[in-house]
Structure 1
Amino acid sequence: MSVVPGLVSITFRQLGVGEILALLRRTGLEAVEWGGDVHVPVGDVAAAKRTAAATADHGVRVAAYGSYYRAGDHAPADFDAVLRTAVALGAPRIRIWAGAAGSADLTTQQRAGVVGDVRRITELAAGEGVEIAVEHHPGTLTDTLDSALALYAEVGHPGLRPYWQPRLGLGPAEAVHEAGALLPGLVTVHVFSWTADGVRLALADGAPLWQPVLGTVAGASAEAGAERYALLEFVQDDDPEALVRDAVTLRSWLGGG
């Protein structure tokens, strides 16, 4: 598959690393983004190495290290531990957030501070062969497509890659437009299905949005001969059985049976 199905580990903060890996084997999901708050704590290099070995033993690939580093908000030195941990984990990229305030709430100077820090950490990570991936998230500089595209252009570094996930209430046509606008840099989509007021649904209920979005991403991946990731997150009731069901849906959409 040109789009690899996987899981964001913080979907199940209540489970240990071994339990998550067993669940991945059960569901046929092939990749994991390990979270930096519970499963692979920032600065715990020994835990990162153990998790890397266990992940490889299960035949699962590490898609990313899911940090909670907020560019322009954390102390600059905080990123050093994030990068060390990601390298020990064997993560090809580190997920971050672009600041701690929405694009409409920042002054020009404050925005420049976030952009400058994203550029700084992207250069640091590139020195270790690691990419920086920016999650599209409310309350950050990626809260609108225009602001996100401006951020990527301002940073201007090939090691900076977009993540994408739908905002609440986003319609299918706009979702396809956003995902398409982020290509070819887009490397990962976080896949979940919510109502406009935040009620979690079975992934199958999100077919009108996700099937065309994933089709767009898969088409770009096949054309370029590049792999991208579709990582499940936010399942109903934080229930592993919900993941089992959603994984069947996702893999069927991606052509994996």
Structure 2
Amino acid sequence: MSVVTGLVSVTFRQLAPEEIIALAVACGMRAVEWGGDVHVPVGDLARAEEVARQCADAGIAVEAYGSYYRATGDFEPVLDTTLALGATRIRVWAGERGSAEEPDRAAVVDDLQRVAEIAGRHGVEIAVEYHANTLTDTLASAVDLFEKVPALKPYWQPPVGSSLDDALEALPALTPVTAHVFSWDDQGDRLPLAAKAELWRPVLGQLAGMQGTRYALLEFVRDDDPAVFAEDAATLREWVSAPG
């Protein structure tokens, strides 16, 4: 029944965690998904604990640990880092290939089921991004995956070139816990968030109408510029306060 605004930390790989937290506070954001490639590396438990403390001190929620786990390899360090960060959700990717190219879909599904069970024993959810080159590259494939692994939580973001109709079909089918919010043209060039009002206002309205807390996290701002982020954050806050 509410949408919490925030950002994906990898939006600013050039900034330190404390700078990202300060930016979030200054721009009225309430949550951060912390990336596992730069800001909270997998296995660096001391860094994870420090970022958790900094977030708590600033009143910023840890929305998730944004791992790059792809349903293969060693999951335990990812979970250990998540727990040190104080996150209760891990974002992973549904494999390493698109649904039409994956030669062993069952193996990806089985691994996602495995890690969801392991994480669940620690009170942690597993979420998968709606993303190209994974088993969530189409709505039909994503829905099939969530039916096979009911413990998984969906994320959503607009694929390049997708239409408003695509979004309004995907949202109720997936009921995502989080949307990664950005504004691209059909070639993938970044735009001011306000340029996609016709997409995001109804999307945020749908999120707001879903049961429980949902997150809208900014990502991919123009020129990776904090000043541009501040503009987009103001737009997002306005939309969330009065969704279309």
Question: TM-score, normalization: structure 1?
Answer: 0.93
1: CA distance between counterparts of 2:75 and 2:220?
26
Q: Partner of 1:11 in structure 2? A: 11
Write the deviation string for residues 178-237 of structure 1: whole angstroms up to 9, x where unpaired.
011112xx20000000001010000000101111111011011xxx3x111000000000
2: CA distance between counterparts of 1:61 and 1:136?
22
Write the deviation string for residues 19-76 of structure 1: whole angstroms up to 9, x where unpaired.
00110111000000000010000001111000000001011000000000001xx32x
Residue 182 of structure 1 pairs with residue 168 of structure 2: no
Q: Partner of 1:147 in structure 2? A: 141
Write the deviation string for residues 71-103 of structure 1: whole angstroms up to 9, x where unpaired.
1xx32xx21000000011011100000000000
Residue 203 of structure 1 pairs with residue 193 of structure 2: yes
Instruction: List alignment gaps of at least 5 residues for structure 2.
Output: none
SS of 2:69's partner is strand
Residue 168 of structure 1 pairs with residue 160 of structure 2: yes
2: CA distance between counterparts of 1:165 and 1:187?
11
Instruction: List alignment gaps of at least 5 residues for structure 1.
Output: none
SS of 1:19's partner is helix
Q: Partner of 2:80 in structure 1? A: 84
Residue 244 of structure 1 pairs with residue 230 of structure 2: yes
Give the number of aligned pairs: 243
Question: TM-score, normalization: structure 2?
Answer: 0.97
SS of 1:123's partner is helix
> Percent of aligned pairs with the same residue?
58
Q: Partner of 1:253 in structure 2? A: 239
SS of 2:209's partner is helix
2: CA distance between counterparts of 1:178 and 1:59?
32
2: CA distance between counterparts of 1:250 and 1:180?
21
Deviation >4 Å, runs of 4+:
none
Change (3 A) 1:105 1:94: same
SS of 1:6's partner is strand
Q: What are the within-5 Å matches in structure 2 for residues 1-257 of structure 1?
A: 2-71=2-71, 74-75=72-73, 78-107=74-103, 110-157=104-151, 160-183=152-175, 186-220=176-210, 224=211, 226-255=212-241
RMSD: 1.2
2: CA distance between counterparts of 1:60 and 1:106?
38
Shift of 1:106: 1.9
2: CA distance between counterparts of 1:36 and 1:22?
19
Write the deviation string for residues 143-190 of structure 1: whole angstroms up to 9, x where unpaired.
000000000111233xx100000100111121111011112xx20000
1: CA distance between counterparts of 2:149 and 2:156?
18
2: CA distance between counterparts of 1:39 and 1:52?
12
Write the deviation string for residues 226-257 of structure 1: whole angstroms up to 9, x where unpaired.
1110000000000001110000000000008x
2: CA distance between counterparts of 1:176 and 1:193?
16
1: CA distance between counterparts of 2:196 and 2:68?
27
2: CA distance between counterparts of 1:91 and 1:203?
28
